[in-house]
Structure 1
Amino acid sequence: MAILRLLVLFMAAVWQAQMCLAKTVTHDFNVTWVTANPDGLADRKVVGINGQWPLPVIEVDKGDRLVVNMHNALDRSASIHFHGMFQNGTNGMDGASMVTQCPVPPGSDFTYNFTINQSGTYWYHCHTDYCYPDGYRQALVVHDDESPFHNDYDEEMTITVSDWYHEMTEDIAPKFLSVYNPKGAEPIPDAFLFNDTMNSNLVVKPNTTYLLRLINIGAFVAQYFYIEDHTFKIVEIDGVYTEPAEADTLYIAVAQRYAILLTTKNTTDKNYPIVTVADSVLLDNIPSDLQLNQTNWLQYNAEADHPQANITVDVASDLVPFDDITLVPTDGTPLLPEPDMEIQVDVQMMNLDNGDGYAFLNNISYTMPKVPSLYTVFSAGELATNQAVYGEFTHPMVLEHNQVVQIVLNNNDTGSHPFHLHGHNFQLLDRQPPYGPNFYDYADGDPVPYDPNNHTAFPATPARRDVFVLPPQGYFVIRFVADNPGVWIFHCHIDWHLSQGLAMILIEAPTQIQGADRSNTPQQHFDVCKAAGIPYEGNAAANTEDYQDLTGQNEQVGWLPAGFTARGIVALVFSCISAVLGVVFIVIYGLSDIKFKTTSNIAQPTFETTESVAVTTTGNRAENYRD
């Protein structure tokens, strides 16, 4: 007993010592428009902070409290999501608009205040509508003197890669979700950036080991990364330390992060291309002036030549990146036990009745509720455990505290999707096809769903991360413990796909949320809702009288009538427009005085036959919402 008391006293002393070392890191962010031209091709407005762009890198130490005072001086609503932060006990600081907070309207202030008990490589970005492709994104680094490789490097650098658009997203979005884009082809970027610029140098010393933190802060396109004539060791993915793994090429999907150890050569004779190659398979078309391959340099000698990389590869078959599912966490956490709850959802991309292309998980296209879902938890009382109160079209799932949860994600789409879960990292159990030359094997055939009776053996010590890529027409299986009460969104991190509805929410331990998280949510949250004109009590329909009455909830657009394809509905729309114009011209012509009539040649409208194909659905859409 005495030994136990001594042990408790010792642990308390250690904790107090750590708390004494912790500090508060405060940033005052005045979010405004500024002008930038990172690729040298086009000036455009971007979201700046304190009049500057690129945005400031946030750097803290493990255990620090981070306070970000944001003033929104834009002409649109905004927020900040600190990507990868668990926000344990501070779910209201997660920054996902209409999930954990109201969007911050122009002229309003919002303070994010939370303690960081993690370490590694993260980033922050706007999580409101199409906000972050306009430049509202940057790295967040959490240093840790006790990391397994802290003594294995001399210096560190942070590298971001991203896609870049010359048009504002407010101008791109209406053309993307439009009857004129029935297949939902994603907007093609105009450039690809490296540390928010191009043709840059990483200045290094010979025979020195560097920790390079790599982050894809783009909105759409994954990128391959390698350095000519160099290999490196992977030591972290998405904030999870791994046993060092030798590699020469990485595939970094949007929102993914890697930390690598790179030891330079013992020479200064030459400089070496750092090569990033956009995954062109994701692009529906490739403009002739779009440069997919970028060369920056590992600069040993400023006076030496800076050669362009010689890239002649087919990215779908020739570049073989390291398979992240094979990495082993240094903490040795074993495979979690059989799940208490399994969520199986299928990705589909289809058209709805307005002719626009939408994204679905089990035939539900995520549609924002009228009340942020976290605030529904706060106000619903005992009904907070009833997933129906969160609305049908948020696709809610209520998880019990400390359940082992398994998500099986099948892809019925021919594109890949990097899925992110807020509030957690998760174990990577299976993915087919695997990374490598066969990654796109299923894209041209039929979808291959997960078969629980016939799959690759799950690893004994699975890799963990918070963004995992779903292969074209393949699947993945992930597993995590619901040990972090909160409302967490699970979504594709391609921002265009999120805007199409490729998301669902997990309401984890709602009774516990009503305790700590409610007390940690300041009044400012609700003041911002008032300023934005958004209700902060009630169910998804903002009904405070009967939480099970969802009359008036926001709904996804109705289903396309059977027999129409996307191509067919576009043809029908244009045919109707042509017909109406034809009638208008006839009426005008008929009402004109005969003496002013002239002869003209009017082209006849062309009609395209609508293809007949049924819209197929799987399962009963109501089944997922029963108590």
Structure 2
Amino acid sequence: MARLSHTSLWMFMVFLFSSYCTAKTVTYDFNVTWVTANPDGLKERKVIGVNNQWPLPVIEVNRGDQLVVNMHNGLGDKNASIHFHGMYQNGTNEMDGPVMVTQCPVPPGATFTYNFTVNQNGTYWYHCHADYCYPDGYRQALIVHDNKSYFADQYEEEFTVTVSDWYHELIEGIAPDFLSVYNPTGAEPIPQSFLFNDTLNSNLKVKPNTTYLIRLINIGAFVAQYFYIEGHNFTIVEVDGVYTEPTEAEILYIAIAQRYAILLTTKNTTDTNYPIVTIADSVLLDKIPSDLKLNQTNWLEYNAEAPHPQADITVEVASDLNPHDDMTLIPHDHMPLLPDPDYTITLTVNMENLDNGASYALLNNISYTPAKVPTIFSVLSSGSLATNSLVYGEFTHPLVLNHNDVVEVILNNNDGGSHPFHLHGHTFQLLDRAPSYGPTFYDYKDGSPVSYDAFNHTAFPQYPMRRDTFVLPPQGYFVIRFVADNPGVWMFHCHIDWHLSQGLGLLFIESPQQMQERLTIPQNHLDVCRVGGIPTEGNAAANSVDYLDLKGQNAQVGWLPAGFTSGGIVALVFSVVSAVMGVAFLVVYGLSDLKFKGKGGGVVEGSQGEGAGKEVGSTTVREAYRDNGDEVR
């Protein structure tokens, strides 16, 4: 074994000492509560705030810091958690945040402590990872500063910019109509507006001839957005926490959960303010209401007294824009293409109607359904059976990975929509995708699905870009590769929150034996499970006696009988609607002329009797039958 020279040993000790001295503990105390807000000026509504404020605080740390977040659930009527999106959580899988995966839901009145070391840098965010939670406002930026980045001396100031879609109703109120027999096509609810730093018509105040670092994060639940600044190019220097070779660009496509950091040098003038343009990807929307504003203008403000012009948008639809292709970026560290995989996983996305008539999302015909025991606890309590995927149930779609395996994931899309897939605990190399961003991105949508052919594909990049969220094109595919060097239970899922609620995800059970050796669950986490009545040992069915007996496990909705199709369901639903409405109208019409004698021999008009046909005609039918949120009339 080679020995360190005295000089090298001294430098190593200095590095350790300096790192120890500069690292600190950063503590946030979050009381998660309901507050009211009106970010688009169109409707005041309840949102999830922190310490009675909204927007939420931006979490800011330096690399090497210990981050502690004490989260108290003060909502009163909803479970909660926090996922620190993009944090590797190496050695701290229990701090990752998705409920029933790495922790129990935090019930109202309980407190849960997240505590981990941040050994990475870049642009991230945090959000609730419980059912229908973060679109109600429980999301914000998380920034890891790095004064040693290769571009640290190239900018004077920095901005953090979030973009998001916004709903005027609580998600728990919208969700039942979405995942319902009355929405058999699975059409996603349409947001009412699109926000820029949780507001509209805002300014980034800049000085002339100055370089700024701008961090861009899509913290929305559904819709990707295009981003550009009129009259300015910029330089991409980071993607999802991975530094890139400096790359000039004009337009970015920022899907849900994706992040970019760009360097922007201002002009040597103060005469004009320039529109910062964000355009919602309207192709994702099944319909576009007439009052929905897809294009937003905010401003790069050189002079507060100068005019603030609206953006000059010449494209007919946003998909005509040509954003920079993230596949062409090169990581600054020049990490080479990983070797041939030890384990290749081929998955196919399908959207199907199941036995209850609602539309579900599936990977290889499995719609993700959480287990009765958080999967991390099944790993830790199953002993030598931890490497057996049966322990984790059929419907969590568990895939067990060996320690340090090179894993390749081939993801084919049989659906006509795009899906931004996120992998917890890792970044992954981007090997191939078809089609690419730009005018051809939606080319496959109206044709037949095109699957990846391992014997006929473009050459993989020498230095593939890495990121943690990557867009699967409509009816196309992508290929990614990573090393299973981070023991833990990690979700791989579409980050469109509606699609995750439909089941578009699975679990990687990575190095379960190493998990048993290295992980210790804090007592606080176990206490929260006890308060919520959730077991902390056993298999997916909560059986702690026979880990291979899955009787009683949570299961996905069953399959439709043979011969039923989405079109058939639509026809059936609206046939029933028509029939019920027809009967209702006949009843109302018939009773309106019905006359009968009362006890005193007088004539009573049937239509004047209390509720005579009125309830069926005007209330029950309207409330019972809906088409994508619109009342049947």
TM-score (norm 1): 0.92
Closer/same/farther in 2, CA of residues 316 and 270 from structure 1, 3 Å limit: closer
Q: Separation in 1 of the partners of 2:331 and 2:580? A: 64
- Counterpart for residue 307 of structure 2: 305
Name the SS of the counterpart of 1:151 in structure 2: helix
Does the 8 Å CA contact 2:224/2:256 hold for their aligned counterparts?
Answer: yes
- Counterpart for residue 366 of structure 1: 368
- Counterpart for residue 150 of structure 2: 148
Name the SS of the counterpart of 1:529 in structure 2: helix
How far is the alpha carbon of 1:96 from its aligned partner?
0.6
Give the partner amino acid of 1:414.
G
Are 1:540 and 2:540 counterparts?
yes
1:176-197 C-alpha deviation (Å, 9 max, x unpaired): 1011110000010100000000
Query: Which of 388, 393, 396 pairs up with 2:395?
Result: 393
Query: Which of 106, 109, 119 pairs up with 1:107?
Result: 109
Query: Which of 157, 160, 163 pairs up with 1:161?
Result: 163
Q: Separation in 2 of the partners of 1:159 and 1:447? A: 36
Name the SS of the counterpart of 1:220 in structure 2: coil
Q: Separation in 1 of the partners of 2:586 and 2:60? A: 68
Closer/same/farther in 2, CA of residues 579 and 165 from structure 1, 3 Å limit: closer
How far is the alpha carbon of 1:577 from its aligned partner?
7.4
Q: Separation in 2 of the partners of 1:584 and 1:269? A: 66
How far is the alpha carbon of 1:599 from its aligned partner?
9.2
Does the 8 Å CA contact 1:72/1:104 hold for their aligned counterparts?
Answer: yes
How far is the alpha carbon of 1:367 from its aligned partner?
0.4
1:489-543 C-alpha deviation (Å, 9 max, x unpaired): 00000000000000000000000111222x2x20111111111111111000000
How far is the alpha carbon of 1:575 from its aligned partner?
5.0
Does the 8 Å CA contact 2:279/2:318 hold for their aligned counterparts?
Answer: no
- Counterpart for residue 531 of structure 2: 531
Q: How many residues align?
A: 602
Show the 5 A alignment for 1:187-226: 187-226=189-228
How far is the alpha carbon of 1:229 from its aligned partner?
0.5
Does the 8 Å CA contact 1:316/1:437 hold for their aligned counterparts?
Answer: no
1:263-294 C-alpha deviation (Å, 9 max, x unpaired): 00001011000000000000000000000000
Show the 5 A alignment for 1:366-515: 366-515=368-517
- Counterpart for residue 245 of structure 2: 243
Name the SS of the counterpart of 2:154 in structure 1: coil
How far is the alpha carbon of 1:572 from its aligned partner?
3.2
- Counterpart for residue 41 of structure 1: 42
Q: Separation in 1 of the partners of 2:586 and 2:175? A: 36
Are 1:556 and 2:556 counterparts?
yes
How far is the alpha carbon of 1:464 from its aligned partner?
0.3
Q: Separation in 1 of the partners of 2:482 and 2:2? A: 37
How far is the alpha carbon of 1:20 from its aligned partner?
1.7
Q: Separation in 1 of the partners of 2:153 and 2:556? A: 53
List alignment gaps of at least 5 residues for structure 1: 605-627
How far is the alpha carbon of 1:233 from its aligned partner?
0.2
Does the 8 Å CA contact 1:358/1:365 hold for their aligned counterparts?
Answer: yes
Does the 8 Å CA contact 1:422/1:489 hold for their aligned counterparts?
Answer: yes
How far is the alpha carbon of 1:384 from its aligned partner?
0.6
Name the SS of the counterpart of 2:173 in structure 1: helix
Q: Separation in 2 of the partners of 1:577 and 1:196? A: 40
Closer/same/farther in 2, CA of residues 577 and 437 from structure 1, 3 Å limit: closer
Does the 8 Å CA contact 1:430/1:456 hold for their aligned counterparts?
Answer: yes
Name the SS of the counterpart of 1:505 in structure 2: strand
List alignment gaps of at least 5 residues for structure 2: 599-603, 618-633
Q: Separation in 2 of the partners of 1:567 and 1:50? A: 48
- Counterpart for residue 232 of structure 1: 234
Closer/same/farther in 2, CA of residues 215 and 583 from structure 1, 3 Å limit: closer
Q: Separation in 2 of the partners of 1:419 and 1:305? A: 41
TM-score (norm 2): 0.91
Name the SS of the counterpart of 2:320 in structure 1: coil
Determine what percentage of the aligned residue pairs are the same residue: 72
Q: Separation in 1 of the partners of 2:549 and 2:583? A: 46
How far is the alpha carbon of 1:573 from its aligned partner?
4.8
- Counterpart for residue 627 of structure 2: none
Closer/same/farther in 2, CA of residues 42 and 451 from structure 1, 3 Å limit: same
Does the 8 Å CA contact 2:182/2:573 hold for their aligned counterparts?
Answer: no
Name the SS of the counterpart of 1:175 in structure 2: helix
- Counterpart for residue 613 of structure 1: none
Q: Separation in 2 of the partners of 1:355 and 1:222? A: 28
Give the partner amino acid of 1:419.
F
Does the 8 Å CA contact 1:204/1:299 hold for their aligned counterparts?
Answer: yes
Does the 8 Å CA contact 1:317/1:438 hold for their aligned counterparts?
Answer: no
How far is the alpha carbon of 1:14 from its aligned partner?
1.4
Show the 5 A alignment for 1:115-194: 115-194=117-196
Q: Separation in 2 of the partners of 1:179 and 1:163? A: 25
Does the 8 Å CA contact 2:375/2:392 hold for their aligned counterparts?
Answer: yes
Q: Separation in 2 of the partners of 1:210 and 1:65? A: 28
Closer/same/farther in 2, CA of residues 594 and 73 from structure 1, 3 Å limit: same
1:392-447 C-alpha deviation (Å, 9 max, x unpaired): 00000000000000000000000000000000000000000011110000000000
Does the 8 Å CA contact 1:399/1:508 hold for their aligned counterparts?
Answer: yes
Name the SS of the counterpart of 1:441 in structure 2: coil
